[in-house]
């Protein structure tokens, strides 16, 4: 079957026929088989079938450690949040940020059903503002998507704030961040700029899914300014190891760049 025909014509037609009721579903296959996710067949069939995010979950399995703190920015219904929560274990923490209030509520039910006390659900979007703002964004299948501009799109007000202004108040005096996954449908740059201080201080493992409308040069320049390499490693096996285009709807891992000894600043608390 022609892939373009399937994606543009057949897949949307099949999705329209799927049940829209949101309720707990047992994941049928894949790495999260047997876990429960609260969603609908219409909104997230790949999660219920266990066929989505395979490469990303495999990457998590190799790079997420027990006891770590991870941020799931753009958590949607929580498929990746479940995976991260199980990998960090009961001594770790996962902060899941989801700006669509109804979706965040369903994610809270998923947290409770799976007994994931280490998962914190925050009904917020992350941007680059120092104060809490209300932004009106298109919402499709329970997901805020700033890349969409259809005339009949459902527009929903969402709360958005920069993480740097919020983090010390929600981290329970444990500010270290070990990893960040960002999938925010076109708001990648804003989310990263709003957590610039955290990224510079802790240089966590950073995985970003890039989308339509994000200026690649501006994005890569921002990465460098935050202490990361501009050469990302593709998560999905279909991408090449050196992909200068940085394809839409693909995730990339960006490594921190070690600070040369001559440029390191000694903290006053550790200076002798």
Q: What is the pLDDT of residue 259?
A: 67
Residues in Cβ contact with 154 at an 8 Å cutoff, skipping those fewer than 6 apart: 138, 139, 140
Is residue 94 assigned to a domain? yes
Q: What is the pLDDT of residue 153?
A: 82
Euclidean distance between CA atoms 71 and 164, whole angstroms:
13
Angle, CA 131 vertex, CA 128 and CA 136 arms, to 5°? 70
Is residue 207 assigned to a domain? yes
Is residue 23 assigned to a domain? no
Q: What is the pLDDT of residue 243?
A: 52
Residues in Cβ contact with 21 at an 8 Å cutoff, skipping those fewer than 6 apart: 40
Enclosing domain of residue 211: 53-258
Q: What is the pLDDT of residue 266?
A: 46
Question: Is the pTM higher than 0.85?
Answer: yes
Which residue do the tokens 């444990």 mark?
174
Tens-binned pLDDT, residue by residue, of the chain (272 aa): 444 544 555 556 666 778 899 999 999 999 999 999 999 999 999 999 999 999 999 999 999 999 999 999 999 999 999 999 999 999 999 999 999 999 999 999 999 999 999 999 999 999 999 999 999 999 999 999 988 777 778 899 999 999 999 999 999 999 999 999 999 999 999 999 999 999 999 999 999 999 999 999 999 999 999 999 999 999 987 645 555 578 999 999 999 998 665 554 444 443 33
Is residue 252 assigned to a domain? yes
Is residue 29 assigned to a domain? no
Strand-pair partners of 160 = 125, 133
Instruction: Give the number of domains in the chain.
Output: 1
Find the CATH number of the domain harbouring 121.
3.40.50.150
Q: What is the pLDDT of residue 96?
A: 98
In 35-50, which positions are buried (b, 16+ CB within 10 angstroms) versus exposed (e)? bebbbbbbbbbebbeb
Which residue do the tokens 């610039």 mark?
196
Is residue 87 assigned to a domain? yes
């Amino acid at each position: 079957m022609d892939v373009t025909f399937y994606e543009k014509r057949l897949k949307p037609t099949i999705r329209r026929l799927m049940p829209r009721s949101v309720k707990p579903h047992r994941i049928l296959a894949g790495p999260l088989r047997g876990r429960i996710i609260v969603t609908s067949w219409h909104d997230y069939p790949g999660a219920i079938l266990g066929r989505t995010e395979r490469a990303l979950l495999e990457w998590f399995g190799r790079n997420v450690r027990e006891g770590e703190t991870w941020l799931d920015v753009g958590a949607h219904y929580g498929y990746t949040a479940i995976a991260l929560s199980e990998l960090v274990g009961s001594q770790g923490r996962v902060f899941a940020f989801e700006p669509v209030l109804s979706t965040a509520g369903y994610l809270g039910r998923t947290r409770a059903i799976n007994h994931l006390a280490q998962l914190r659900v925050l009904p917020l979007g992350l941007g680059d503002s120092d104060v809490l703002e209300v932004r009106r964004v298109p919402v499709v299948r329970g997901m805020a998507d700033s890349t969409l501009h259809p005339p009949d799109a459902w527009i929903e007000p969402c709360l958005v704030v920069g993480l740097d202004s919020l983090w010390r108040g929600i981290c329970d005096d444990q500010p270290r961040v070990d990893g960040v996954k960002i999938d925010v449908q076109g708001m990648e740059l804003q989310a990263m700029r709003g957590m610039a201080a955290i990224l510079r201080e802790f240089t966590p493992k950073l995985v970003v899914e890039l989308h339509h409308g994000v200026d690649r040069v501006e994005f890569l320049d921002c990465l460098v300014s935050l202490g990361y390499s501009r050469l990302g490693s593709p998560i999905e096996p279909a991408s090449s190891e050196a992909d200068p285009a940085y394809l839409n709807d693909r995730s990339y891992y960006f490594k921190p760049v070690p600070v040369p000894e001559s440029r390191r600043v000694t903290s006053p608390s550790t200076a002798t």
